[in-house]
Structure 1
Amino acid sequence: MQLKVIVISVLLASISCDHTSSPECGIPRNVAVSLIRYGQNTTRGDWPWHAAIFHRNSTWIENVCGGTIISQKFIVTAAHCVAGNNKLSLPLKRVLVQVGLYDLDVLNPAFSQKRDVKRILMHEGFSGIENDIALIEPSFPIVFNNYVLPVCMNLESDITGELGTVVGWGITENDRISPVLRKVEIPVVNTSTCLESDRDLFGQSLSNGVICAGYNDKATVCNGDSGGGMVFKRCNKWFLGAIVSFTRKRPDGSNKCHTASYAAFVRVQHYISWISDNTGMSIKPFVCKDPGNSLQCGKRKIETDNVITDERETFHGEWPWNAAIYLRKGSSHIYLCGGTIIHRRYILTTENCIQDRTNSMNYAPNKLFVRVGIHNLDTLNSDTMQQYDVDKYYVRTLKIALLALQTNISYTNYVQPACLYTKKVITGDLGTVVGWGSTQGIDLSSELRKTTISVINVNDCSRSRRIRRRTKYNDALDAEKFCGGFIYGSIICSGFGGGGVFFRSGDRWFLGGIVPVAVDLHVNCVTKGNRWIMNVYHFLPWIAEKTRVSF
């Protein structure tokens, strides 16, 4: 049976870490240390809840789909994986399941368990595309061990833009079935993006029970992956958020998936009641206290005993939320500006940071990437530095930009999120500006620098010659901006653009402002006077709307 296929999606946020079976769900026991990349082979035991579904008759047996173990008695999959041409359930003897399987060519009984099927429960509303979900009850219970375990369920809130992991034995980029289990990490996309890509395919199918995900310009998942789960990690556990359902077919009549297409997934949360009613499982909700942003935002993990003689110097790890944004230029790249980590997936900066100054157009997201955990732009420390591609961005024209990364940032001692300032800055507040910029009128600094500014009274600021004469970026002070600097001291200058202005409260640092990018990074700026700063407080509702995160 050709699977209907691929792409990811899910729902997320509130999850149930302690709902069902024993042992504890969603925690692999054999974990290999490796990076998640497209089409990467897995290690045996990495995904112990993944099941293989076979069709058979008297002369042959064929792996057709994946499934996910949710308890010792039940596997959840796509309905089309166990349906015949009449959309009714196949005869039980035609279906076989195997768990603990890693290599299709090597059936090792020391790890895998084979089961006939006792019962197939297809959703009563299955029509071929809609309600594409089914439960399989094996002939006798699955035995849990290091290589066979259940996944967790109950992802309760929308996670459009999040990344999930799909595993399977599907068709690879070489158009061949993979004999070993593979994994891919792909993003959930919003409904409008999916519809714009193929309205004929998705127009009648996207609903509360279906989610769209994947990439529209490169391969994701394909035939053979159908019925498998899309999982998300929360609370250090893996939760089932969606099931691979269908995607566009190739125009060559081969019935294979179009590998450069979004795909539709069954949204598991929509069917939690149906699953519970048909399995007798009690699936309790659990709110993950850290769905993406650390509750310890704005806290340093590293302090230093070294004596810093220049108050503008910083030490590595002092500002772990600082990010560097780059532009790809052929086989090379250039530093554009700074930014601030506010969430595992989001970097906040200014809109003119990502703008091509030759034509006032914003750079395409795939031309941008971000580095975090770095201190010196010229000497990269591979032990602390992490690099992420930009998936998309949101902008408030000539104001701020929110970069969404393709994969979630890993928090370390050198990489942490800043808190967002949820109160207005007031005259006299002292803030710290951080970036690879000048504090004395010289060009970019390779070392991360800092300088202190004071919030200036609006009337005093308006009398500043520097503020009055700059009009290119609409410098009129309003609720979106505040004025900062020292009238008779060094101020923020070239290279600090896009970086944050941080205010300390107790033992935490809060992002209160963003420095606009200079028109020309290589032109020395005036080192005495005041400067307007984008006021983060004003944009909090917009940031929350775009990230769907409560800060």
Structure 2
Amino acid sequence: MHRSVLRGFYLIATIVLWGKFAAKGQTTENVANLFIELTQNCSCVYYYQCDTNGYIIIDGNGLIDERAGEDEGKKPIFCEGGKYQGEFICCKHPNQTITENSTTGTPTTDNAVTVPVITTEKPKERKCGRSLAIFNERIFTGEDDLPAVPGEFPWLVILYENKSSVWKYRCVGSLIHPRVVLTAHHYVFRYASEPFRLKALANGDAERGQITGNAFLERDVIEIVKNPDYYSGGLYNDIAPVILKEPFDIYNKQYPINTVCLSANMAIENKRCIVAGWGKTEQNTESPILRKVEVPIVENKKCEEMLRKTRLGDDFNLHESFICAGGEAGRDTCHGDGGSPLLCSNDNYNTMIQVGVTSWGIDCGQKDVPAAYADVRHSYNWLITELNKRNISITATVN
């Protein structure tokens, strides 16, 4: 088509669009952007919600931890509006699901095959999920802005990494078996070929411990089980068991060490649950003392709607491998809490069951912005299968 004819077509289309929408109170910017969207088959979004291939980011890739970089080889189509030039660009909606390494995704728990748990020995003294504190300070009233007491969370484990012969704090995990630490996949998968670079420290005390060579509290790591359905862009299926060389002695009365319970299908709707860690506080400082916070479980669809109001944008899709909790101002996990267990109580409030693994969030402690946790129930069958392959049986799992 001749350029003059094409320009004439665009002019006529603009006049028609303006006549159609001006009467409805639409601004010049809105009409201009609508014209761009119709003629370019795209949607006007914030520039950082568009990936380097020109497609809208719907899984959080590049938005969860850092913004996506720009592709110098492609020139974006800029939309009108915003506080500065180039804030909005025209971006296409992806036509297919993004995957990594041809991963097909994890089936839901309903479709998964139930794997029997082989019980070899009954617990002698300690039951999973039971506090070993001098007094049990489970707080479910919301008045929980207090440090945890020693032994209150005896399944917490800190994973340290060896950097130039110095042990550096890496993340938190939970002891689900005397030889198995459950943590966030994105913190440990890079060490799969060098598991000896990690060391586990049982840390039932309130104060964050250090690697000192204590034979009772420290264990070498011999394997990191990689999750085949993990997707690094959106942190899907962000859960990994870390296998220790030797088991922790959970019957040693000198140290508060115990395992936490798991569940394949625990109902968590409308519950308020607890997460504890040594991450940053509201003052943006690291906490040497273990702190806990009670957060409400947020239903996934509602969570997705709330997260779409953040920088993730209107097209963000919350993956089925997550559960959400939080959304109350000043009550949240933060940087440094990664891998910490999200714990819900049973009906008697005397047993704690891990339902989630701290994975990611948008900033920290913002009102109406829940955090995302890897759903333990979603990966339960895969987890039990992998442990059974290694002759490791969870003997006190809540079903």
- TM-score, normalised by the number of residues in structure 2: 0.59
| Aligned equivalents of 2:187, 2:193: Cα separation in 1 | 9
Q: Closer, same or farther in 2 for the Cα pair 1:105/1:98, shift >3 Å?
A: closer
Please state how far the C-alpha of 1:157 moved relative to its aligned partner.
Answer: 3.8
Alignment of 1:24-423 (within 5 A): 24-34=127-137, 36=139, 37-84=143-190, 89=192, 91-102=194-205, 103-104=207-208, 113-128=217-232, 129-144=235-250, 145-146=252-253, 147-154=256-263, 156-199=265-308, 201=312, 204=316, 206-234=318-346, 235=348, 236-249=350-363, 257=364, 259-260=366-367, 261-280=369-388, 281=393
Q: Closer, same or farther in 2 for the Cα pair 1:28/1:201, shift >3 Å?
A: same
2:329/2:365 contact within 8 Å kept: no
| Aligned equivalents of 1:259, 1:181: Cα separation in 2 | 21
1:169/1:177 contact within 8 Å kept: yes
Structure 1: any 5+ residue segments left out of the alignment?
Answer: 6-10, 12-17, 250-256, 288-551
- Which amino acid is the alignment partner of residue 120 of structure 1? I
2:128/2:396 contact within 8 Å kept: no
Q: Closer, same or farther in 2 for the Cα pair 1:263/1:152, shift >3 Å?
A: same
Q: Which has the larger radius of gyration?
A: 1
- Which amino acid is the alignment partner of residue 217 of structure 1? A
Please state how far the C-alpha of 1:158 moved relative to its aligned partner.
Answer: 3.4
Q: Residues 290-322 of structure 1, C-alpha deviation per residue, up to 9 Å, x if partnerless?
A: xxxxxxxxxxxxxxxxxxxxxxxxxxxxxxxxx
2:337/2:358 contact within 8 Å kept: yes
| Aligned equivalents of 1:111, 1:172: Cα separation in 2 | 31
| Aligned equivalents of 1:205, 1:49: Cα separation in 2 | 33
Please state how far the C-alpha of 1:201 moved relative to its aligned partner.
Answer: 3.4
The SS at the match of 1:167 is strand
| Aligned equivalents of 1:114, 1:99: Cα separation in 2 | 6
- Which amino acid is the alignment partner of residue 330 of structure 2? K
2:262/2:398 contact within 8 Å kept: no
Q: Closer, same or farther in 2 for the Cα pair 1:259/1:130, shift >3 Å?
A: same
Report percent identity of matched pairs: 24
| Aligned equivalents of 2:336, 2:186: Cα separation in 1 | 12
More strand by share: 1
- Which amino acid is the alignment partner of residue 319 of structure 2? S
| Aligned equivalents of 2:317, 2:395: Cα separation in 1 | 27
How large is the RMSD of aligned CA atoms in angstroms?
3.0
Q: Residues 255-289 of structure 1, C-alpha deviation per residue, up to 9 Å, x if partnerless?
A: xx4655311011111111111111122578756xx
| Aligned equivalents of 1:112, 1:174: Cα separation in 2 | 34
| Aligned equivalents of 1:225, 1:194: Cα separation in 2 | 20
Q: Closer, same or farther in 2 for the Cα pair 1:111/1:27, shift >3 Å?
A: farther
| Aligned equivalents of 1:284, 1:47: Cα separation in 2 | 17
Please state how far the C-alpha of 1:216 moved relative to its aligned partner.
Answer: 4.3
Structure 2: any 5+ residue segments left out of the alignment?
Answer: 1-63, 66-108, 110-117
Please state how far the C-alpha of 1:58 moved relative to its aligned partner.
Answer: 1.7
- Which amino acid is the alignment partner of residue 116 of structure 1? D
Q: Closer, same or farther in 2 for the Cα pair 1:27/1:108, shift >3 Å?
A: farther
| Aligned equivalents of 2:211, 2:225: Cα separation in 1 | 27
Q: Residues 451-492 of structure 1, C-alpha deviation per residue, up to 9 Å, x if partnerless?
A: xxxxxxxxxxxxxxxxxxxxxxxxxxxxxxxxxxxxxxxxxx
The farther-off stretch of 45-54 and 277-286 is 277-286
| Aligned equivalents of 1:139, 1:105: Cα separation in 2 | 20
| Aligned equivalents of 2:131, 2:379: Cα separation in 1 | 25
Q: How many residues align?
A: 263
Please state how far the C-alpha of 1:204 moved relative to its aligned partner.
Answer: 4.7
User: Highest relative contact order (Cα 8 Å, sep 6+), 1 or 2?
Assistant: 2
More helix by share: 2
